[in-house]
Structure 1
Amino acid sequence: MVALGLFDICEPGGSGMLLPLFEAEQTWPRPLRGVIYAVVMVYCFLGVSIIADMFMDAITVITSRRRRVRLSCGRMVTHKVWNETVATLSLMALGSSAPEICLSTIELLKRSFHVGGLGPSTIIGSAAFNLLVIIAVCMASIPPTEVRRIHKLPVFYITALFSVVAYLWLTFILNVNSVDIVDIWEASVTFALLPFFVWISYKTDTGDLMRAARWLASRVSPLLAAGETDNKENDKKDILSFSAETMTVNGMAVPRTVEVQVCRSGDCKGRVGCNYRTERFSAVPGYDYEEADGQLEFADGENQVSIELCIPPRDPCKVARDFFLVLEETTGGAEFNPEADGGEESAILTVTVAPGSNNGTSTGGGGPVSLDSLRLGFSDWGSQSVAIFYCLGSPEEQRNAKLGDWVYHVASLPWKLLFLPVPPTSLLGGWPCFWCSLGFIALLTAVLSDLAEFFGCVCSVPDIVTAVTFVALGTSMPDLFASLSATRDDPTADAAIVNVTGSNSVNVYLGLGLPWTMGAIYWAVVGRTPEWEEIYSELDLKLPPGNAGAFVVDSKNLGFSVLVFSLSCVVALIMLFVRRHFLGAEFGGPRHLQVVTCISFVSMWFAFCGIVSWRVLTWKEISVAESWA
């Protein structure tokens, strides 16, 4: 298979989508250019991590939105608009994998619907890094005295199964069914597996497929749930709740403070507590109420404590607006009332701030748009534009900044200035931030695609090797730090493990399914062209009759990479199952067992990179030798 175009990308006359910046760059010494491209690529990874964080913040705001629902009995309860599992496997997975997905799609468009070596291989390399390195680092971050276990086992079974199926499916379509060719039906099935995967996970999370999940668990390992405890002793535990589920506060011409009572029922022995915070609904913080958060503590024998809420002066002409006071994350063995608003995981009080005259004005809806919300959004936009110039975001924090903080601040300031057009998440429910961030990610990904190709060209390193090592490592670093933080803060292992298995599945179904469907349809419509014939003249393809074209994906290296990762994936999941069976948890436990597991996972990642690189470089040498024979 010959290269696209008349020239190599790093030679005079060659070019990528956005680079080189000027023609004279192509005449510079190759060693110098290799160093420059590597440094600029690393710096671009910093930019990707910054804009990816903004993208994830927008997704968090979007998926955390709640709505009020009236039950058949007339009672109003609060539900999240997004199911947690659906949010994790759709928008959250898109957020964590956006650079890889954009790279695969942009590379296809850049190469005139010919598949490249960077996009698909980056997805495979990123999946290997996520599963083997990120989980190993998260495992090592837990003290020996603590453990982290998967809480939603059925959802984990589904995501683990689909992550294995995704890469076995790639092996089938690349190496078995139609070698080196991806048909329309193959690409379409790959893409269609994404909504099916999300749907089946949602049904499992809601309990509709619980029997099927239990059957699957019993076949995988009858003792997999070892170490789980029966929670039938909850009758004696203290219950924390509000005295009522709704509360109306009449506005006044001056600021006022109201007290909300939190009750404790049960034997009231020992110290218990929980966290509390206000959450925006139709009311706007700073205009309709003041934000509050903190910790509540009940002393031994105490059965009631209060939370103070501040209400700013209200205009009598304003409509009534709502916000939530949320209790969560109990301590001391306390629980929430599963029958109350918020369920087992939280307790929710809906506070209605009425107009000052209390004239019965109707309550405002839960939509994100109001004049005050727009004021808040633009005010936050101005504040964040000023905050980027301070180390750690404010003059107070800057006084305590260390050398490392200053180095990061100086390095990241140009990127933060570039991203000033990105609105804050408080504007219009986070959607403008979502789309602007996604646009910047796509732009940076296009630059990274060119840089990676230039780097590989001047250093004579194949794109696949660059992708599974350098590019995959750089695009996955934000996921590493996010998963590490989530593992330390979350009492379960779901945030790290389920997110990894889910993201790896979405990477294939969306990151490869979408561009490959586009490519397969394009060549089926356009047919074989002289350029197509020249590019794939060296491949022994089983083409359809006539002049029909085909979407070619050279499987000799990509298929091998998928196969090696699939084997690594199965081994890694088995090791997690074994830890669950013998230790009762995926993370934590005795330090020596943590070290052994972490070394095993990281060693598998190095082995994956080494084997794939050896295969690609060896095949390249054989191809060169045959061409000279």
Structure 2
Amino acid sequence: MGDGHPNVTTDTIRCTDGLVLPCWQPLDDVALVDKIGRGLVYFFFMAFLFIGVSIVSDRFMAAIEVITSQEREVSIRKPNGEKHIIVVRLWNETVANLTLMALGSSAPEILLSVIEIYARNFTAGELGPGTIVGSAAYNLLVIIAICVSVIPKGEVRRIKHLGVFFVTATWSVFAYVWLYLILCFFSPGEVEIWEGLVTFSFFPATVITAYAADRKIHKYMKKDYRMNRRGVIVQAEGADNLEMVNTELLVLDDVHEDIKQEYITTLKELRQQHPHTDIDVLEKMAHEILLNKGPKSRAFYRIQATRKLMGSGDLMRRISERAQSDLSEVKAELQRESGVTEFSQSGAKVFFDPSKYTVLESCGHFEVTVVRTGNIDIPVVVEYGTEDGTAQAGSDYVKAKGTLHFQAGEKEKRITLEVIDDDVFEPDEHFYVRLCSAQPPGSLGSPVLATVIILDDDHGGLFKFESQNHELVESVGTYELKVVRCSGARGRVILPFRTEDGTGKAGKEYEEQEGEIIFENNESEKVISLTIIEEDSYEKDVLFYVQLGEPQMSGDEEASLAAEAEKKRPDERTERERIALMGKPRLGEITRAQIRIKESKEFKNTVDKLVQRANASLLIGTSSWKEQFIEAVTVSSSDEDDKKEPSRLDYFMHCLTVFWKILFAFVPPTGIFKGYLCFVVSIFCIGVVTAVIGDVASHFGATLGIRDGVTAIVFVALGTSIPDTFASKVAAIHDKHADASVGNVTGSNAVNVFLGIGVAWSIAAIYHGIHGNTFKVDPGSLAFSVTIFCTEAVLVIFILVMRRSKIVGGELGGPQCLKYLTSSAFFALWVVYLVMSTLEAYGVIQGF
């Protein structure tokens, strides 16, 4: 913007003392060489200040990220009436990007405009507004040009929230038209209080309309909705009310489902690639991939770019550490929730291990084991005794009672028991062994009761599954289905079996099997190994079956059993006894087992909790001053490969920036007061550095005869926008969509005007109004600048929309020829803007 005197010469530009820095004396009779020398000093000092404001702005962005990442639990009701708890962010993504995120990336420009008003005693200047306009042109033309061309060959990026983009693009163009209206139409040459306040009020209007476009609220205001089975709001026929008012949840479940499915798919692929790797390692790898590929905020990309430029390393290298810590915390949390705690080592615990024994009637003597854990350095005395079950002491087993003495260091004792053998048919019977008391008191653990099952070994036996229903998780891999032999254990028996489909299908949920298991003489248990196919399904519930066939015994053993059975007394025999006494093995009651495969609750809970942590942006926060100072003095490689040593460039940039790194390490960590303290202190520091930048930029221009308006659009706008350039470049390459790289540019441009100029001019207008004056702002070449910028902005937006056609497929990337042509065109438009604005400012061409 000019000052109304297009024919001004460089000789009329005179340095005045700034808010912080005085002018470099003397001002008169300065030789050309001295002017050039002073100009270079100012230039490099200004560049050094830009580095400082970039670093402290990153602290500010980190605070904003922590603030906007805060979450809350929301209770929603499913169709069956069951309540479901989900975790949602307090801040809507669009609102966060247009408020705090835009403020974070544009804070230097906005504060420069406000500080300039104060420094000039509430009179209008060119530096602040010029920086905002110049930054807008650079953001729209140069940053988008770079983003279009850096997309890898054959790839495209599309704007996901197109409605939000159109809303913010419209506001960004309107913002500059509005400046023209208030300076040249409503009240020419001055800004009234209402005009400044209305300019500022367009900021919340931009946020509200963008939020409405994001949530498409107009679609839901005339309809009734219910929640479907996935937790997503859908239209309900005949519904009288909205079951979930908060529209923030409309797509939340879909987002979570997408992340869950991506995690599950990744884990499945890793299991195929590393079949022998431990599951915990695979889960860490999957979470690390999820963090790498997951959506990231504008703040993350901004800080990532700055850290790589300043020799502070690559944020992506933290992801591996974060993945491991997340997984460890989740496992520990699940363990606490399930009530599993580590065993106390403060005292001794004595118990049976195992607690169930199966013995043959003819075995005679056998042993049960009692073990001790915990503190084994003290002696323990334990009393035990047998108790009748269906087996009777004296006829089926020998009653026992005694004392076990554990000496210091002893971990195990054995109790010897005796079974009585006879020739009378008896079904399987059992008795118990109990640990009665212990010294010192409290030494008994669980289990204190052991069960002993006595098998009759005179007959072939009955064969059955131990239980009919079996529920298992798909992550079990191989499931051992137990088949038991009761009411006899004599002879070698072949038992056929086969699997049968239910809702679970062979080859998909399990591997089909058909075969035989062989019970040797006196063998009472066998297992069928079922292979469960791992799909890592988040919600699985399918059935299949295992069917037993008729048992078969060798001919000689079958004849021998039949002969012995005929010798038994036939009176008072039940049907079951008669079958057993005939000696032939038979099937028992449970010959068909039902296998239910469900998702692993541990796996499901792990996925749920990891999904909540699948936000790599949280990596940018800090928890302590110690962490910040260590980072400040440490040189790290900017390469993504964490095994590489820092390069010479990394060391050079670290030496160049270490002053700012250490200085701003004093800013409170984001872990204190949820980031709010860091937010306040950081914005204060940005204001201080920006005030110095304003003085240096003004002195630089005055020394070399460059007008403030030109200095602003060429040098200051470029310096404040470089970090955003690299941030958008990284976002364009790594993000799936173009919103973080392109979509935020238009929103940031609108916010710059409505906040930067709106706040500054409102303050100045109110100040002059209080003193009975008017706030004068010379329109100068505003109409010319607005015409050029708006024309180019509309052209850029039109080209971006046309690139969404099938020929290209997205705003960014596409065919090599087209993407480089687009980038060249956008960059050329920026050069035209700079040249035309500069020529008009110096009166070479006539504005209008």
Q: Please indicate, yes or no, whether the TM-score normalized by the shorter chain is above 0.5.
A: yes
- Could you tell me whether the CA contact under 8 Å between 1:121 and 1:558 is conserved in 2? no
Is it true that 1:202 corresponds to 2:232 in the alignment? no
Deviates more, 1:585-594 or 1:158-167: 158-167
Deviation at 1:58, TM superposition (A): 1.4
Aligned to 2:792: 568
Alignment pair present for 1:60 and 2:49? no
TM-superposed CA distance for 1:84, in Å, is 0.4
Any conservation in 1 of the 2:260–2:607 contact (CA below 8 Å)?
no
| Match of residue 531 from structure 1 | none
Q: CA RMSD in A?
A: 4.1
More strand by share: 2
Q: Which runs of 4+ in 1 moved over 4 A?
A: 7-11, 21-28, 257-262, 271-274, 306-310, 312-316, 334-337, 396-399, 619-622
Which TM-score applies when normalising by structure 1? Answer: 0.69
Match of 1:16 in 2: 18
Q: Structure 1 CA distance, aligned partners of 2:259 and 2:642?
A: 40
- Matched residue type, 1:607: V
Aligned mate of 2:75, from 58, 70, 77: 70
**1:463 aligned residue (708, 729, 734):** 708
Deviation at 1:426, TM superposition (A): 2.2
Partners of 2:92 and 2:260 in 1: how far apart? Answer: 25
**Contact map agreement 2:183 2:191 (CA 8 A) in 1:** yes
SS at match of 2:624: helix
2:596 pairs with 1:596:
no
Distance apart, 1:420 and its partner CA? 2.3
Match in the other structure for 1:491: 736
Per the alignment, residue 162 of structure 1 pairs with 171
Cα 1:589–1:22 shift into 2, 3 Å:
closer
Please tell me whether the aligned partners of residues 187 and 520 of structure 1 are also in contact (alpha carbons under 8 angstroms). yes
Report the residue type matching 2:609 in the other structure: L
Match of 1:414 among 645, 656, 659: 659
Residue 261 of structure 2: SS of its match in structure 1? strand
- Check conservation: 2:632, 2:665, Cα contact below 8 A: no
1:167 Cα offset (Å): 1.4
Instruction: Report the equivalent of 1:616.
Output: 841
1:438-470 superposed Cα distances (whole Å, 9 cap, x missing partner): 111111110010011101111111100100101
State the match for 1:430 in structure 2. Answer: 675
Query: For residues 324 and 189 of structure 2, what CA distance do their matches in structure 1 show?
Result: 58
Of 334, 357, 380, the residue aligned with 2:624 is: 380
3-state SS of the aligned residue for 1:501? Answer: helix
**CA drift at 1:308:** 8.5
Q: Displacement of 1:78 after TM fit?
A: 0.6
Change (3 A) 1:272 1:66: closer
What does residue 128 of structure 1 align with?
Answer: 137
CA deviations on 1:256-297 (whole Å, 9 max, x unpaired) are x997999xxxxxxxx99961699xxxxxxxxxxx9752799x
User: How far apart in 1 are the matches of 2:197 and 2:170?
Assistant: 20
CA apart distance, 1:175: 2.5
Q: Which amino acid aligns with 1:36?
A: V
Q: Is the 8 A contact 1:170 1:559 kept in 2?
A: no
Are 1:477 and 2:737 an aligned pair? no
User: Cα deviation per residue 1:469-489 (whole Å; 9 max; x = unaligned)?
Assistant: 010000001110111111111
Write out per-residue CA displacement over residues 163-213 of structure 1, whole angstroms, 9 at most, x where no aligned residue. Answer: 11111111222223322212222211111011111011112212203599x
Q: For structure 1, which runs of at least 5 residues remain unmatched after alignment?
A: 213-233, 244-256, 263-270, 279-289, 297-305, 317-333, 338-345, 353-376, 528-548, 623-629
Larger radius of gyration: 2
1:427, distance to aligned residue in structure 2 (A): 2.2
* Cα distance in 2 for residues equivalent to 1:23 and 1:116: 23
Shift of 1:31: 2.3
| Alpha-carbon contact 2:180-2:782 (below 8 Å) kept | no
What SS does the aligned partner of 1:209 have?
helix
TM superposition shift of 1:2: 11
CA contact (8 A) 1:387 1:393 kept: no
Indicate if the aligned counterparts of 1:259 and 1:307 stay in contact, CA closer than 8 A.
no
Match of 2:290? 275
> Which amino acid counterpart does residue 50 of structure 1 have in structure 2?
I
Return the alpha-carbon distance in structure 1 between the equivalents of residues 667 and 288 of structure 2: 38
Distance 1:242 1:67 in 2: 23
Pair 260,599 (structure 1): closer, same or farther in 2 beyond 3 Å: closer
**Which string of whole-angstrom CA distances, capped at 9 and with x for unpartnered residues, describes residues 28-73 of structure 1?**
6322211111111111111111111221121111111111122355
Aligned: 1:39 with 2:44 = yes
In 1, are the aligned partners of 2:330 and 2:609 still within 8 Å (CA)? no
Question: d(CA) in 1 for partners of 2:537 and 2:761?
Answer: 49
Cα pair distance change 1:200/1:399, threshold 3 Å: closer
Structure 2, unaligned runs of 5 or more: 6-10, 222-254, 265-277, 295-319, 338-535, 540-605, 613-620
Q: What CA distance in whole angstroms lies between the structure 2 residues aligned with 1:408 and 1:587?
A: 31
- Structure 1: distance between partners of 2:537 and 2:799: 33
Q: Is the 8 A contact 2:197 2:762 kept in 1?
A: yes
Out of 254, 261, 274, the residue aligned to residue 240 of structure 1 is: 261
Secondary structure of 2:608's counterpart equals strand
Q: 1:293 to 1:398 in 2, by over 3 A?
A: closer
Asked if 1:349 is matched to 2:349, the reply is no
Whether the 8 Å CA contact 2:149–2:820 is kept in 1: the answer is: yes
* CA apart distance, 1:22: 7.4
Deviation digits for residues 518-545 of structure 1, max 9, x if unmatched?
1111112212xxxxxxxxxxxxxxxxxx
**1:555 alignment partner, SS class:** coil
CA distance in 2 between counterparts of 1:407 and 1:455 reads 26
Q: Which amino acid aligns with 2:43?
A: A
Decide whether the 8 Å contact of 1:102 with 1:442 is kept in 2. yes
CA gap of 1:447–1:208, structure 2 versus 1, over 3 A, is: same
| 8 A contact 1:154–1:210 mirrored in 2 | no
Preserved CA contact (<8 Å) 1:130 1:500: yes
In 2: Cα distance, 1:30 partner to 1:241 partner: 61
Q: Does the C-alpha gap of structure 1 residues 524 and 171 become closer, same or farther in structure 2, counting only changes over 3 Å?
A: same
Aligned ranges 1:36-435 → 2 under 5 Å? 36-71=41-76, 74-209=83-218, 240=261, 275=290, 292-293=322-323, 309=330, 311=332, 348-349=608-609, 380-392=624-636, 400-435=645-680
What is the identity, as a one-letter code, of the residue corresponding to 2:332? Answer: I
Amino acid at match of 1:19: L
CA drift of 1:400 comes to: 0.8
SS in 2 for 1:439: helix
Alpha-carbon displacement from aligned partner over 1:551-578 (angstroms, at most 9, x marks no partner)? 1111112342222111111111111111
Partner of 1:450: 695
Tell me the CA shift for residue 311 of structure 1: 3.4
Q: In the aligned structure 1, how far is the partner of 2:622 from the partner of 2:727?
A: 28
Counterpart of 2:469 in structure 1 is: none
1:596 is aligned with what amino acid?
L
Using a 3 Å threshold, how does the CA distance of structure 1 residues 336 and 466 change in structure 2: closer, same or farther? Answer: farther
Once the two structures are TM-superposed, the CA of residue 114 in structure 1 deviates from its matched residue by 0.4
Contact 1:260/1:307, CA 8 A, preserved across alignment: no
> Mean Cα displacement is larger for which, 179-188 or 442-451?
179-188
> Structure 2: which amino acid aligns with 1:609?
L
Q: Distance in 2 between matches of 1:74 and 1:38?
A: 62
SS at match of 2:290: strand
Q: Distance in 1 between matches of 2:537 and 2:660?
A: 44
1:457–1:486 distance in 2 versus 1, CA, 3 Å: same
The aligned runs of 1:510-549 (5 Å cut-off) are: 510-527=755-772, 549=773
- Give the % identical residues: 39
- Which has more helix, going by share of residues? 1
Deviations 1:71-128 (A, max 9, x none): 3553221110000000000000000100000000000010011010100010000000
Distance in 2, matches of 1:605 and 1:351, equals: 42
More displaced 10-residue stretch of structure 1: 186-195 or 396-405: 396-405
Question: Following the alignment from structure 2 to structure 1, what is the Cα–Cα distance between the partners of residues 846 and 801?
Answer: 41
